[in-house]
Amino acid sequence: VKRPLLQFPNYSEQEWQMADNNGNSRESWGSKMGIILAVAGSAVGLGNFLRFPVQAAENGGGAFLIPYFISLLLLGIPLMWIEWTVGRYGGAFGHGTAPGVFQSMWNNRLIKYFGVIGVFGPTVILMFYISIESWTLAYSYYSLTGAYADALTQEQMVSFLSSYQGGVGEGGVWPALGFFVVTFVVNFVVMYYGIARGIERFAKIAMPLLFIMGLVLAIRVLTFGTPDPLKPDWNLVNGLAFLWNPDFSLLLSSKVWLAAAGQVFFTLSVGIGMIITYASYLKRDDDVVLSGLTAVSMNTFAEVILGSSIVIPAAFIFFGPVEIVSIAEGGAFNLGFVTMPMIFNEIFGGAFFGFLWFSLLFVAGITSSISLASPAVCFLEDEFGITKREAVTYFGIVCFLLCLPSVLFLKNGVVDELDFWGGTFCLVLFATVETILFGWIFGIDRAWEEAHRGANLRIPKFYKWIIKYVTPLFLFLILGFWLVEQGWNTLMMKDVPPENVPYIIWTRLLLLGLFLGLGILVRAAWQKKKKQDRLEAEGLQS
């Protein structure tokens, strides 16, 4: 019998009941606010406070906000709704990760292998993200101990950072490794306690704390005024002007639109499978529309209001209109780990504000890294029937080993390579296919109905059209432009220094092994289930 190309699972009421029971046997969130804070925590990361202001300053200032908000409406919010809906749908069938969730949406034997990206991508990002997160913990500690207080020039601060990262400072690689281990343990301890008692409880403390710290820092920066009366131009209003004065001529540049779409895309944690996992722990009639929109609003608040009020204005006030240009061009990490500590060295109570700044980044980072680890843990738990604690332990051991290259070989370009595959390539590819699956294969009418189950808010009808046509088109454009502008060069290692090439090749082999390993695990899990179903059927017959 020839199988139809598109075969949808048309479940009967009885099957839905069984699915609900299956889904109900999984953990669930303790409260609506719990999952909203957890998803917002997943979205609010280092990029909100470091990447966004740099992107805005480099791409037209205030004018950048026009493509930013358009991208948010056409790409960010629809993708957020898609992932919440898809996740809750899959959760009802006992699946919390893309292989199982996609399979429950489309009876195609290959789609589960595509879903591997939804576990692979977050794991690859996690491989370097915990390491970067551990720098913020280290710098919080160093702020209090005054370790960087003697670094008064940009060169000295860069040297301090490099010696820490490269393990050439006092104590060699041990301080970096030590802070990494502490950060790693905190992440996995939170996960060990599960969804409601671990992640949700942590998010309920961490997120309000993050916003309070952000507000305190923003208010401090907004009251800097003109610290040096001899340089009256180095003041707050001019600092804000540097970021907000619009250059509308740049709106004609495709680069600016791509930068805005990329920023929206990367900041919301959509298109990689983490939100699918979080939403899979929802109950079948829990709202997804309003919850998703609230998570977007919290992330945007952290990014546009807090993010734009801290680093760039502060850097302008202390370094002036000329140096700020090179600082912004130096990139987000330079701004966060070099420029900001230098400012803290200058101000009264700098140790406290330095501690606050790096703690803010640490909290933003940890809520994101926990969500990055969730798909892999959930995959092991759901598809192999092991307990959450076993899954966390197994994945913790493997993940620790996977993270080591980014700590030990940072200077050899390993982190950039991991970011390329996990943070860019997989993200765009996964989101594109996920959107097509949702709007075209699952069907926009079914998808619409599914999204509105238990919804506290109706999505405006024109979004049906946006989700079906505009969002996929937008994603294809991003994918195409990105492949032409960056993808090919990175793939061919054109910008890699010759001494780093072996490290990049080894990293790629490691990633290939990881992807194949996950593919084999998916196959093994499905075969195991098939065998179980057969045995159950035979048992019933006899």
Residues that bind another protein (CB under 8 A): 31-33, 36, 61-63, 65, 69, 222-226, 229, 232-233, 235-238, 240-242, 244-246, 248, 287, 290, 293-294, 296-298, 300-301, 304-305, 321, 456-457
Minimum CB separation of residue 227 from another protein in Å reads 9
Minimum CB separation of residue 211 from another protein in Å reads 11
Q: What angle do CA 126, 296, 467 make, to 5 degrees?
A: 95
Helices 174-192 & 117-145 angle (0-180, nearest 10): 120
- Nearer to another protein among residue 242 and residue 357 (C-beta): 242
Minimum CB separation of residue 455 from another protein in Å reads 10
- Nearer to another protein among residue 125 and residue 466 (C-beta): 466
Minimum CB separation of residue 382 from another protein in Å reads 26
Minimum CB separation of residue 501 from another protein in Å reads 43
Q: What angle do CA 358, 42, 24 make, to 5 degrees?
A: 145
- Nearer to another protein among residue 62 and residue 178 (C-beta): 62
Pair of tokens at residue 411 = 């200077």
- Nearer to another protein among residue 30 and residue 178 (C-beta): 30
- Nearer to another protein among residue 322 and residue 401 (C-beta): 322
- Nearer to another protein among residue 232 and residue 460 (C-beta): 232
- 418-423: long-range contacts (C-beta < 8 A, 24 or more apart)? 418/124, 418/125, 418/127, 418/128, 418/507, 418/511, 419/125, 419/128, 420/490, 421/124, 421/508, 421/511, 422/120, 422/121, 422/122, 422/123, 422/124, 422/125, 422/127, 422/128, 423/124, 423/125, 423/266
Under DSSP, the state recorded for 410 is G
- Nearer to another protein among residue 321 and residue 519 (C-beta): 321
Minimum CB separation of residue 59 from another protein in Å reads 13
Minimum CB separation of residue 65 from another protein in Å reads 5
Pair of tokens at residue 198 = 């671990």
Q: Give the span between the Cα atoms of 282 and 280, in whole angstroms.
A: 5
Pair of tokens at residue 336 = 């966060």
Minimum CB separation of residue 457 from another protein in Å reads 6
- Nearer to another protein among residue 159 and residue 226 (C-beta): 226
Reduce the secondary structure of 146-190 to three states and give it as a string. CCCCCCCCHHHHHHHHHHHHHCCCCCCCHHHHHHHHHHHHHHHHH
Minimum CB separation of residue 234 from another protein in Å reads 9
The number of beta carbons lying within 10 Å of the beta carbon of residue 339 is: 23
- Nearer to another protein among residue 265 and residue 482 (C-beta): 265
Contacts of 42 (CB under 8 A, 6+ apart): 269, 274, 275, 278, 367, 368, 370, 371, 372
Q: Which residue has the tokens 């280290």?
A: 138
Minimum CB separation of residue 259 from another protein in Å reads 16
- Nearer to another protein among residue 238 and residue 507 (C-beta): 238
Contacts of 43 (CB under 8 A, 6+ apart): 267, 268, 269, 295, 296, 298, 299, 368
Minimum CB separation of residue 80 from another protein in Å reads 12
- What's the length of the chain? 542
| Residue 526 burial by Cβ neighbours in a 10 Å radius (0-12, 13-18, 19+) | middle
Please state the φ and ψ torsions of residue 409, each to the nearest 5 degrees.
-120, 35
- Nearer to another protein among residue 77 and residue 380 (C-beta): 77
- Nearer to another protein among residue 236 and residue 447 (C-beta): 236
- Nearer to another protein among residue 65 and residue 444 (C-beta): 65
Q: Is 383 left (phi over 0), alpha (psi -120 to 50) or beta?
A: alpha
Minimum CB separation of residue 398 from another protein in Å reads 37
Pair of tokens at residue 221 = 């920066």
Minimum CB separation of residue 299 from another protein in Å reads 10
Smallest CA-to-CA distance from 521 within 100, 128, 176 is with 100
